[in-house]
Chains A and B, each alone.
Chain A
């Protein structure tokens, strides 16, 4: 089975540019999560969708960040405009709503903003 798919794997952009990160969750999973990982702050939850509806976006750092989930098989995280402090690894994860609620993570997108 295919796991969580993220693209691109690496992104280098200049400050001020728009960045769009993409995620395809595991088929049949109801919930999707976006995380950010940095050395300084560790792993941070940015936003969480359940059945394509945003449930908790309290972790989104500021209005420059937005996320959408137009259907059950696709989500985007957009940063506009990007800043150097946005440089991090961004992970997408998905899960079913039941059982032990474990999440399955994608390989991540390493974003560098110069």
Chain B
């Protein structure tokens, strides 16, 4: 079955540091890949997505590239801000799972001023 493995947290960084959160996946078909962000007390928000190999999703300074050869979709940001503090979830949607979302366990990011 489908699965998503993401870097365990919590991750603590200083403002303006470089961020990488690793995400690898297993899927039976050709999945779409997503990063969702959850701010404290809120629901999950779609941060970015990629639908095919070598696509790069980007939003709000965050980027992730769909790497089929390594089955990865790592999230990066060049300079984090305090306001980026949140939980980040990697997810996939695959025909094999009837296009439901399969989520990773989430990574808590705290950015200190």
Contact = CB atoms under 8 A, between A and B. Distances in A.
Interface of A: 4, 33, 42-43, 45, 48, 55-56, 91, 93, 97, 100-108
Nearest to A3: B43
Interface class of chain A by DSSP = strand
Nearest to A4: B43
Interface centre among A100, A105, A107 (most CB of B within 10 A): A100
B32 A100 contact: yes
Nearest to A107: B43
A4 B42 CA distance: 12
A26 to B, nearest CB: 12
Nearest to B103: A43
Contacts of A104: 46
B100 A105 contact: no
A72 B2 CA distance: 29
B89 interface: yes
Contact of A106 (B36, B43, B99, B106): B43
